Structure 1
């Protein structure tokens, strides 16, 4: 689990089975860092300054426990809280929600801290984690976490080059230069941009000056230090914070002034004017930072900005000072996710890079693909050889054969391709890997295998239709429609599996591999049944007295019913109920006219098998609802 303590709000992400899962804390994506201490010592977490205004007088509000770390504790003052205890309470609260959400214990902890923290405050974080019941956490500075998250978004930083990180979402704004290294990033220099008042005070002062007269007492209130702010001033500052966040998505926002004053309307231009003291310092701060890092602007591969809400001009100021357009990162879990990328090997991309688990090859694995291919050829040849061809002179004017049987031959071709796709990685991994032949990765094996399945199976099914038309010397169109039509759904499933299966966690791959192995016995049973039904129809003529043909056809229909029931479900109870029922029902309704419908039922069962396999793959690849959409939004900057 990764917890971000360096931003204006606390965010947490859990890495589980190769996937990053954002944690909802009290139903929120981010939690305010405020802590309230009751008169009996009870601690409440997750409150913002506005909510704290309604607390009783005997409750003490701490805006952010991390601001108290490193300060000397006055042992004579019994009312002074222990910041380590407060932080430990916050960690326990967040990890409790994480454990409930992922339904499992948190076994390791990563914490993102500001770059200005040294051994003292970092030691306090480790002590807080110990009090919360965790081993010492891995600590990642906020600039390194942002740089790592930028690489997740696709930003390329060559080895040995530098990146400038600006974190402006929390006061004071911080500039840092990092250099890429083999084990992550090396900090070359960092610098804070200090202001007489924070941005909220500057904006509030600008609004009050614009909306009130010089004699208004509100002007004196808003210029007072934060610690001396009365409730009126704190309410105004909270309204300013809300307006700044609204200006990120709209052109105007309201700021509520104390009654009887009318609300003030501000725009992004007003925020830019109020933030001018910060913007004016950017050029000199960047030059001084680069000098401290002993680099030039040419050494910068990229500039990453964690923006201050509503201050769009900050990106323009950085671009002018560095000569590079900043990469904006305002995702609430960016630092938590980036820290995980540096401290764990279980990332969203690690499932594709993880080594495929060893799978013991069996004789059935080696012969399964051959048997499925043989079943497909048997049905194809029988349909061709048993075709009733009508000729006029030397011209073929009509052909009667079982089109659904040809469709089944095409579908079995796709099953053969699935068996080959399952066999390929296990064959490659059957031996002992050597240094000269590195072990293939899951992503490449699955992606190549199932893409080959989709393309190769569909092409072979199309060739089946063309071969049938050539053999009977008649129009191949109806045969191609059936062979290719039955194979295309399975080909589409194989393509979807190729795209998503590389995200499956490594520890879930053995179960998934077992599920992807086609059931050869079911296919052989269906093939035998279809063969018997077709043979019975061939032997039956209007004047035939052959009594064996109807019995053979009924047996074949019963076998198709059993294969259909076994293919539809993997549960033994359902199979035990449906298999006898379908076998008896198919045998009773078997006639020349119903043979095609019975075969189509088996084709539908094969399609349902592909749907179940694809759905199971998607659930393993994206265990949380909406993970795929969030992953896409992260990559597109949404």
Structure 2
């Protein structure tokens, strides 16, 4: 059947935008709610129907338990309770699409059956299938999906001279309400291909709102009383978050705004300069995420030919400056950033047939030389640390008998690096697999198996290390095994958690996610060198002056290793490295080399925890919002 009009729809956590392409070529932004940006809000009626947009918000004043402010909370597959009804993603998104279709049909004068929907770049089969079913329920028989970053890039290319040619790379920053997504696209002979994508944790529109709300709370809190964002869980402060969002949006277009708070508090005046300072923590998170996604795509900022900034929070003060400083390119903002994705989806889908929900193969990753040598270097470092324990232990007489003197912290360090060795092997095998032809189910199974094996093998190796040292000194005890196992357990547990979460990683995000599981080679080499140097200075028969110099060099190297392990942002890494290197050099002595070694072990454990958190965030992108919703609902 011929289609005389087409519809492009961009459903976001906060707003839904739609553009209608008429037969004559004209394109009209739809305003089903009186604005091109219809609020993505849903109210479940008792009779089984739904209200959407501003009508949903108005109805929520009397029945807040039937109100859903963010439809993305349901898209991962879990149902949600709205009043006495249990609804799922299909029902929620079908309600939104039905409202859009009704407005499009009214303007076009006939029924539409083709819709082009934008989807986040990390969405895989489960969420796309749910959205496809919702579109079918709303009456669309032909559904085409277009990645939101590709749609934004296509819109920019069609409305300006800013475009890439074959062989070029671009970075698209989509600053949305629930997430700020960064995606690297390559323009090849077949069009735009996605190389890597990540969500800038802590830099979403809601994160901006919470920072502004915390500032408002602090501004009206009497001196001497603590002010915290946790106050937002109190019913009397919930309106502050809405006021913060309104203030943020007002400051996008005006130099200053007065924020009215509930009695007895006076209004708070905030200007654009204040806003830029308030959101600095979120902007720092954005900078780190840019570095992360460029690394995942295996390119540098200088390789980019275009940087695009779009989304509802694109006008946030400081965002353009952060992108410019981290990519060396001035970001380009679409003329109509509010409808860029919806209209770009129409252009990108011209001539497209209905496509499969997700490619049959996992995205490929680029195999780096360090991926191949990382396990060998880590294994050598672990063995060197263990050998140092054996070579520097000594025995002496005491009133209670023979006493063994050895460096227990070196046993711990050797065991932790041994688990990292298993981790690096677990990372290498799926990386090798995904660098060639790959299959979704086989690739996911391999990832789960390798990381589960790494966790189990790491504990076994740690136990063997401890038992080996015990056998060396002739002690029938588990004392030395505990020195190895206790610090190794968190890292091994991290590998097991990664394995458990891997099944929920969207197919399109696997390649970028794997790059984030690479432990820095330089950190382990520097840390091992520093620990060995400090141990040598303590045990070797050398002059006190030379011993002091070697200990300080070892402490500086270990401090640098801690910085490289903990910090991913290049700029912060350099600053932190300078501080910790100088600090390690200054405080190193015969008495605190043990503490420095334990600090490095703690840094590795913290790195493991952040990798697990990153995996959970990618696997369940709406988890944080869902938790916040539950906390808000349960607060009195």
The TM-score, its normalising length taken from structure 1, stands at: 0.50
- The higher radius of gyration belongs to 1
Pick aligned residue for 1:4 from 6, 10, 14: 10
Aligned equivalents of 1:158, 1:11: Cα separation in 2: 28
Aligned equivalents of 1:25, 1:324: Cα separation in 2: 37
1:178-193 matches, cutoff 5 A: 178-193=185-200
Aligned equivalents of 2:305, 2:56: Cα separation in 1: 39
Aligned equivalents of 2:173, 2:270: Cα separation in 1: 26
The TM-score, its normalising length taken from structure 2, stands at: 0.50
The reply on whether 1:126 has 2:132 as its aligned counterpart is: yes
1:337-356 matches, cutoff 5 A: 337-345=343-351
The DSSP-based 3-state class of the residue aligned with 1:248 is helix
The DSSP-based 3-state class of the residue aligned with 2:96 is helix
Deviation at 1:145, TM superposition (A): 0.9
Deviation at 1:224, TM superposition (A): 5.3
Deviation at 1:175, TM superposition (A): 0.8
Structure 1 unaligned regions, length at least 5: 347-638
Aligned equivalents of 1:215, 1:60: Cα separation in 2: 40
Aligned equivalents of 1:62, 1:164: Cα separation in 2: 32
Corresponding residue of 2:76: 70
Aligned equivalents of 1:84, 1:149: Cα separation in 2: 28
Pick aligned residue for 1:137 from 143, 148, 157: 143
Q: Go from structure 1 to structure 2 and tell me whether the alpha carbon gap of 1:181 and 1:97 turns closer, same or farther (over 3 Å shift).
A: same
What whole-Å deviation, never above 9, does each CA across 1:551-607 have from its counterpart, x for those lacking one? xxxxxxxxxxxxxxxxxxxxxxxxxxxxxxxxxxxxxxxxxxxxxxxxxxxxxxxxx
Q: Go from structure 1 to structure 2 and tell me whether the alpha carbon gap of 1:288 and 1:188 turns closer, same or farther (over 3 Å shift).
A: same
Corresponding residue of 2:532: none
Pick aligned residue for 1:162 from 157, 166, 169: 169
Q: Go from structure 1 to structure 2 and tell me whether the alpha carbon gap of 1:105 and 1:214 turns closer, same or farther (over 3 Å shift).
A: farther
The DSSP-based 3-state class of the residue aligned with 1:189 is strand
Corresponding residue of 1:322: 327
Corresponding residue of 1:44: 51
Aligned 8 A contact 1:163 1:303 in 2? yes
Aligned equivalents of 1:172, 1:74: Cα separation in 2: 21
Pick aligned residue for 2:307 from 303, 306, 312: 303
Corresponding residue of 2:108: 102
Aligned 8 A contact 1:146 1:335 in 2? yes
Corresponding residue of 1:208: 217
Deviation at 1:77, TM superposition (A): 11
Deviation at 1:302, TM superposition (A): 0.5
Deviation at 1:90, TM superposition (A): 1.2
Q: Go from structure 1 to structure 2 and tell me whether the alpha carbon gap of 1:280 and 1:49 turns closer, same or farther (over 3 Å shift).
A: farther
Pick aligned residue for 1:246 from 243, 246, 250: 250
The DSSP-based 3-state class of the residue aligned with 2:93 is helix
Deviation at 1:7, TM superposition (A): 6.0
Aligned 8 A contact 2:17 2:38 in 1? yes
Pick aligned residue for 2:278 from 274, 278, 293: 274
Aligned 8 A contact 1:6 1:142 in 2? no
Corresponding residue of 1:29: 36
Deviation at 1:345, TM superposition (A): 4.9
Aligned 8 A contact 1:108 1:135 in 2? yes
Pick aligned residue for 1:15 from 16, 21, 24: 21
1:470-509 matches, cutoff 5 A: none
Aligned 8 A contact 2:113 2:139 in 1? no
Aligned 8 A contact 1:6 1:114 in 2? no
Aligned 8 A contact 1:112 1:141 in 2? yes
Aligned 8 A contact 2:14 2:69 in 1? no
Q: Go from structure 1 to structure 2 and tell me whether the alpha carbon gap of 1:47 and 1:83 turns closer, same or farther (over 3 Å shift).
A: farther
Aligned equivalents of 2:287, 2:314: Cα separation in 1: 20
Pairwise CA RMSD? 2.6
Structure 2 unaligned regions, length at least 5: 1-6, 353-636
What whole-Å deviation, never above 9, does each CA across 1:482-512 have from its counterpart, x for those lacking one? xxxxxxxxxxxxxxxxxxxxxxxxxxxxxxx
The DSSP-based 3-state class of the residue aligned with 2:239 is helix
